[in-house]
Amino acid sequence: MDAGIKSIRAAGVAIGLLFFLMSSGCVAPGEGKKAKLGREEGDRIVEALANYHAKYGGYPDQLEALVPDFLKAVPVMDHNNAEQVQFFYIKTSDGQYRLIFKYIGPGTNECNHYPSYPDGSWKCVGAY
């Protein structure tokens, strides 16, 4: 089979796969119900971190330090609840932090927030 036909077949397969993914109802990483819930809870944590920083001049070593003065409770992952998102907090060596939430469906998704992101934004990526 010559290279031209192989190339046309590969393009056809790629277009078919793209069409399938677009028409399958899959939402982009950072979109959909679970991402919305994650951002809402994450925004509460970000606000609590900002208030902690304003009071103490730095960020805590762990999220538990926010309870009860800045946050009612730290989100805990219930592995029996597929609708939940999982949070991770990392205090970075430069005194800042990284807040992450992960969720499944569709695919595996991760959304990140750094205090340096403008307007409290979240950057999300995912894989199917």
Question: Among 127, 122, 125, 128, which residue's Cα sits nearest to residue 37?
Answer: 122
Helix (H) or strand (E) holding 19: helix 3-23
pLDDT in tens, 54-71: 999 999 999 999 999 999
Find all residues with CB under 8 Å of 69, minimum gap 6, and list them.
Answer: 52
Question: Among 90, 89, 53, which residue's Cα sits nearest to residue 70?
Answer: 53
Q: How many helices (H) and strands (E) does the chain have?
A: 2, 4
Find all residues with CB under 8 Å of 45, minimum gap 6, and list them.
Answer: 63, 66, 71, 75, 87, 89, 99
pLDDT in tens, 6-50: 656 655 554 544 444 443 456 677 778 888 888 999 999 999 999
How far is it, in rounded angstroms, from Cα 1 to Cα 117?
A: 51
Find all residues with CB under 8 Å of 63, minimum gap 6, and list them.
Answer: 45, 71, 74, 87, 89
pLDDT in tens, 70-122: 999 988 766 666 667 889 999 999 999 999 999 887 788 999 999 888 777 89
